Amino acid sequence: MSRGVIRNGVTIVTEGPLEGKEAKIQKIDRHKRLAKIGGGLNVSFCQEGDSGQALKSLPKVKGCERMENWYAMKTMPEKEEEAAELIRRTIPPSLWESCTILRKKKLFRADGKLILSMEKMFPGYLFLQTDRIQDVSEMLKRSREYPHLLGEGGGQAVRMEEKDLAFLKQVCGEQMDQPMGLSQVEADEEGNLIRVEGILRPYSQKIVRKRLRKRYVLAEVGLFGRQETVLFGICLPGDRIWEGRR
């Protein structure tokens, strides 16, 4: 996404893929926040003063190239909520679009019952959607409250790759604000899975470990530039699930 301002009918782009290419803009739709630059390509843009909530409401248009810059930011373990709240409280909403902590659902046994719990997918990390990461990072570094970015002494936020985003959006929703759900599976008497449904299904051939009694499996997923072993929570036919408070 590009960012700029329209003054006296003249478009001035301050950052993004349209910066320095104002002469190529053929048409501006200020209401839809779309700039047509030829070849059937439209590029989303925002204007100075647009809020993060306003950006979320921009329409998705076929042929429109929308920049989605998500960053992984590391904080101290068990300080994820504190760090996210600080961003929401101190960083102007015009500088970011979404701030989230990725979570997953998982079952555990207690007193013979299957309890549904909520756990962090990546403890110590939060995920920020922004096209102005340098501005956000500088503001956070100046805050003595913030429990450090990725790396010692503040460090850098790490931009997410498109394939990583594709997986995370598949399991946590388009805005990555939904918990990764349980997958429904069915097994034979020997413990072999004979039916897999839900988010685990595309990775059923990548399962490297099964713990059916504990209601989870481990599968290899291409993530963060390497093969990661990801825990998928599962449930079986007939499971009676109790709500937990984890």
Summarised one tens digit per residue, pLDDT across range 168-222 is: 999 999 889 999 999 999 999 999 999 999 999 999 999 999 999 999 999 999 8
Mean predicted lDDT score pLDDT of the chain: 78
- Could you tell me how far CA 54 lies from the centroid of its own chain? 18
Which of the following CATH numbers is that of domain 70-105+118-172: 3.30.460.10, 3.30.70.940, 3.30.200.20, 3.40.50.2300? 3.30.70.940
Residues 12-38: tens digit of each pLDDT: 555 555 555 556 666 666 666 666 665
pLDDT at site 178: 93
DSSP secondary structure of 7-49? ETTEEEEEESTTTT-GGG--EEETTTTEEE-STT-EEEEEETT
Measure the CA–CA gap between 83 and 94, rounded to whole angstroms.
18
pLDDT at site 4: 56
List where CATH 3.30.70.940 sits in the chain. 70-105+118-172
pLDDT at site 30: 63
